[in-house]
Amino acid sequence: MKKHYNNLTGIISISAKGTGYVKVLDRKDDIEIDFKHLNTALHGDVVEIVLHRKEKERMTGEVVKIISRAKMGFAGVLEEENKLFFLKPDDTKMYTDILIPKESLHGAKMGQKVFVEIVSWHDAQKAPLGKIIKVLGQPGDNDAEMRAIAIEKGFDTELPSPVEKEAEKIKHGGIQESGNSPPQMRRGLGVVIQKITTSPSAFLLKKEEKISMRLVSTSPM
Helix (H), strand (E) counts: the chain = 3, 12
**Where does the pLDDT of residue 29 fall: very low under 50, low under 70, confident under 90, or very high at 90 and above?**
confident
Average pLDDT value for residue range 37-65: 90
List where CATH 2.40.50.140 sits in the chain. 4-68
pLDDT, residue 19, reads 95
pLDDT, residue 197, reads 39
pLDDT, residue 155, reads 81
Architecture per CATH, domain 73-152, reads as: Beta Barrel (2.40)
List where CATH 2.40.50.700 sits in the chain. 73-152
Average pLDDT value for residue range 181-209: 41
| Residue 186 backbone dihedrals phi, psi, to 5 degrees | -80, -40
**Where does the pLDDT of residue 57 fall: very low under 50, low under 70, confident under 90, or very high at 90 and above?**
confident
Assess whether pLDDT exceeds 50 at residue 31: yes
pLDDT, residue 218, reads 42
pLDDT, residue 58, reads 81
Assess whether pLDDT exceeds 70 at residue 204: no
* Poorest-pLDDT segment among 31-35, 47-51, 191-195: 191-195
pLDDT top residue among 127 and 203 = 127
Domain range 4-68, its CATH number among 3.10.450.40, 3.30.70.2190, 2.40.50.140, 2.40.160.10: 2.40.50.140
| Separation of CA 112 from chain center | 17
Three-state secondary-structure class, residue 148? helix
pLDDT, residue 36, reads 94
pLDDT, residue 154, reads 81
pLDDT, one tens digit per residue, over 140-182 is: 999 999 999 999 888 866 655 565 566 566 656 655 545 555 5
Average pLDDT in the chain: 78
pTM above 0.95, yes or no: no
DSSP string, the chain: ---EEEEEEEEEEE-TTS-EEEE-TT-SSPEEE-GGG-TT--TT-EEEEEEEP--SSS-EEEEEEEEE-S--EEEEEEEEETTEEEEEES-TT--S-EEE-GGG-TT--TT-EEEEEEEE---TTSPPEEEEEEEEE-TT-HHHHHHHHHHHTT------HHHHHHHHHHHHH-PPPGGGS-HIIIIIS--EEEEEEETTEEEEEE-SSS-------B---
pLDDT, residue 24, reads 87
175 touches 197 (CB < 8 A):
no
pLDDT, one tens digit per residue, over 104-113 is: 999 999 999 9
pLDDT, residue 169, reads 66
Identify any residues that bridge with 68 across adjacent strands, giving them in sequence order.
Answer: 46
